[in-house]
Structure 1
């Protein structure tokens, strides 16, 4: 059985490897749709609130109104220096690679799976007309390919 849950968050990022408008710092209202495999254990399988109690606060704390940033992007060092010099504390969600929607899908799939949920598919909407569908096979393939040498965790996010 599949349970489908939707969440939204706002975040800034840039695709520093591209030579187009997306190289500039900009933001999105990301929509994510999680598809969870659940097993029925009586009259219900899983309470919807079981997902909301973990995923909603996690997204709010680590992603919402923050900046997704590649730690290898030169802007990262500049932001870290600015924070230190001026005593500001920006919410930075650190990535070990570009902050493309594909890499965001990988990271979110990892984050949600590490919460103990059986995520089978994740849809990430970056714009009104652009959605990426990322499934368990994509995740396994990306883990095997080690798309990031190490992925950020809740402990390393700012």
Structure 2
């Protein structure tokens, strides 16, 4: 026997799926709209599982407050860009050499703002909107990345992340499942 709980979080983000390929027979179009810069009102649903209850719970829902803070501070109203995106140099011209990027423990990079401290405010504002990742930011890859972040944190209290659902739109989602133990 085991128990599972879930908690939902919403955030706004932008991305570009530069690797998009369509089969016209199935897509009924040839326009690669996901290759455009665009945004979403995303939703993530975290499923936590345990075969032992502690104080009658898998864990307290409050133990996910850190994740809400992570979303607010890191992803909300930000643009996810793959460091390998062919438009990287165009969109981040001051960092086209891909140097002066700051690595973060959660597997993303941001720009080193000291490089642009003499630039006008609007340049700073543009760069503070980028979260640089090392994957094409599809819903499948985003959900996998977030699952890894969540599981690493939840390991500290002995709770298993069984799956993460990521809704790019209200009608389009991906789900990543943890491998069985």
Q: Is the 8 A contact 2:82 2:134 kept in 1?
A: yes
CA distance in 2, matches of 1:90, 1:79: 12
User: What is the TM-score normalised by the length of structure 2?
Assistant: 0.68
Q: Is the 8 A contact 2:140 2:175 kept in 1?
A: no
CA distance in 2, matches of 1:42, 1:96: 40
Residue 60 (structure 2) aligned to one of 39, 47, 51: 47
Q: Partner of 2:147 in structure 1?
A: 109
How far off its partner does 1:36 sit?
A: 0.3
Q: Structure 2: any 5+ residue segments left out of the alignment?
A: 22-31, 96-115
How far off its partner does 1:82 sit?
A: 4.9
1:12 aligns with 2:54: no
Instruction: Answer with 1 or 2: which has the greater Rg.
Output: 2
Number of matched residues?
A: 138
User: What is the TM-score normalised by the length of structure 1?
Assistant: 0.77
1:71 aligns with 2:113: no
Equivalent positions of 1:1-158 (< 5 A) are 1-18=3-20, 20-38=32-50, 39-51=52-64, 53-82=65-94, 84=116, 86=120, 87-88=123-124, 89-116=127-154, 117-137=159-179
- What is the Cα-based RMSD across aligned positions, in Å? 2.2
Q: Is the 8 A contact 1:70 1:94 kept in 2?
A: yes
